[in-house]
Structure 1
Amino acid sequence: MTFMTLAHYLQIIDRSWRAQDGSKIASFISLRHEHAKYQNYHVESPEGLVERFLISPIDDLVVLHLKCLYYIAVGDFLEAYRQQSTLVQNFSKILQLQKEENWSLPIMYTICSDLRLVAQQAEKQKIGPNENPGEILEKAAECLMGCFRVCAADNRSAEEDTKRIGMLALVNQLFKVYFRINKLHLCKPLIRAIESSPFKECFSLSQQVTYRYFVGRKAMYDSNYKAADEYLTYAFENCHKSSRKNKRLILIYLVPVKMLLGYIPSKKVLEKYDVVQFWDLVQAVCQGNLKRFDELMDMHETFFIKCGIYLIVDKLKIIAYRNLFRKVYLILNTHQIPVEALQSALEYLGQDVDLDETQCIVANLIYEGKIKGYISHQHRKVVVSKQNPFPALTTLS
Structure 2
Amino acid sequence: MSFPTLNAYLLEVSSSLDNADAFILAKLLSFKDSHVSNPKLHKESPELLCQRILDTPYDELVAAHLKGCVAVANCNYREAYACQVLSVQIFVRIFQPQKDDNWSLPLMYTLILDLRNFANEVEQEILQHNKGKKGDTLEKAADTIMSCFRVCASDGRAAIDVSKKWGMLFLVNQLFKIYFRIGKLHLCKPLIRAIESSNIKDEFSLAQKITYKYYVGRKAMFDSNFTQAEEFLTYAYTNCHADARSNLKRILIYLIPVKMLLGRLPPIDLLHSHNLSQYRDIVMAVRTGNVHLLNCTLLEHESFFIQTGVYLILEKLRATTFRTLFKRVSNILGTHQIPLQAFTEALHGQGITDIDMDETECIVAGLIYAGNIRGYISHQHKKLVVSKVNAFPAVAS
Greater relative contact order (Cα < 8 A, sep 6+): 1
- Paired-residue identity, %: 51
Equivalent position of 1:353 in the other structure: 355
Calculate the TM-score normalised by the size of structure 1. 0.93
Q: How does 1:11-50 map to 2 (within 5 A)?
A: 11-50=11-50
Deviation larger for 267-276 or 246-255: 267-276
Partners of 1:85 and 1:140 within 8 A in 2: yes
Deviation at 1:100, TM superposition (A): 1.9
In structure 2, how many angstroms separate the alpha carbons of the residues matched to 1:366 and 1:41? Answer: 71
Partners of 1:264 and 1:393 within 8 A in 2: no
Correspondent of 2:376 among 346, 359, 374: 374
Deviation at 1:335, TM superposition (A): 1.4
Q: How does 1:1-397 map to 2 (within 5 A)?
A: 4-126=4-126, 131-156=132-157, 158-351=159-352, 352-392=354-394
Code of the residue aligned with 1:64 in structure 2: it is A
Code of the residue aligned with 2:101 in structure 1: it is E
In structure 1, how many angstroms separate the alpha carbons of the residues matched to 2:226 and 2:156? Answer: 35
Matched pairs, number: 394
CA offsets 1:13-51 (integer angstroms, 9 cap, x no match):
211111111122112211122322333333322223323
Question: Secondary structure in 2 aligned to 1:383?
Answer: strand
Partners of 2:126 and 2:134 within 8 A in 1: no
Question: Secondary structure in 2 aligned to 1:263?
Answer: coil
In structure 1, how many angstroms separate the alpha carbons of the residues matched to 2:160 and 2:223? Answer: 33
Deviation larger for 205-214 or 317-326: 317-326
Question: Secondary structure in 1 aligned to 2:385?
Answer: strand
Deviation at 1:157, TM superposition (A): 5.4
Q: Which runs of 5+ in 2 are unaligned?
A: none
In structure 1, how many angstroms separate the alpha carbons of the residues matched to 2:379 and 2:197? Answer: 50
Deviation at 1:392, TM superposition (A): 4.2
In structure 2, how many angstroms separate the alpha carbons of the residues matched to 1:328 and 1:149? Answer: 59
Question: Secondary structure in 2 aligned to 1:264?
Answer: coil
Calculate the TM-score normalised by the size of structure 2. 0.93
Partners of 1:339 and 1:380 within 8 A in 2: yes
Code of the residue aligned with 1:271 in structure 2: it is H
CA offsets 1:206-230 (integer angstroms, 9 cap, x no match):
1111111111111111111111111
In structure 1, how many angstroms separate the alpha carbons of the residues matched to 2:15 and 2:377? Answer: 78
In structure 2, how many angstroms separate the alpha carbons of the residues matched to 1:10 and 1:155? Answer: 34
Question: Secondary structure in 2 aligned to 1:160?
Answer: helix
Code of the residue aligned with 2:246 in structure 1: it is K
Change (3 A) 1:70 1:195: same
Partners of 1:17 and 1:58 within 8 A in 2: no
Deviation larger for 320-329 or 154-163: 154-163
Deviation at 1:341, TM superposition (A): 1.5
Question: Secondary structure in 2 aligned to 1:97?
Answer: coil
In structure 2, how many angstroms separate the alpha carbons of the residues matched to 1:223 and 1:119? Answer: 31
Q: How big is the alpha-carbon RMSD for the aligned residues of Structure 1 and Structure 2? A: 2.1
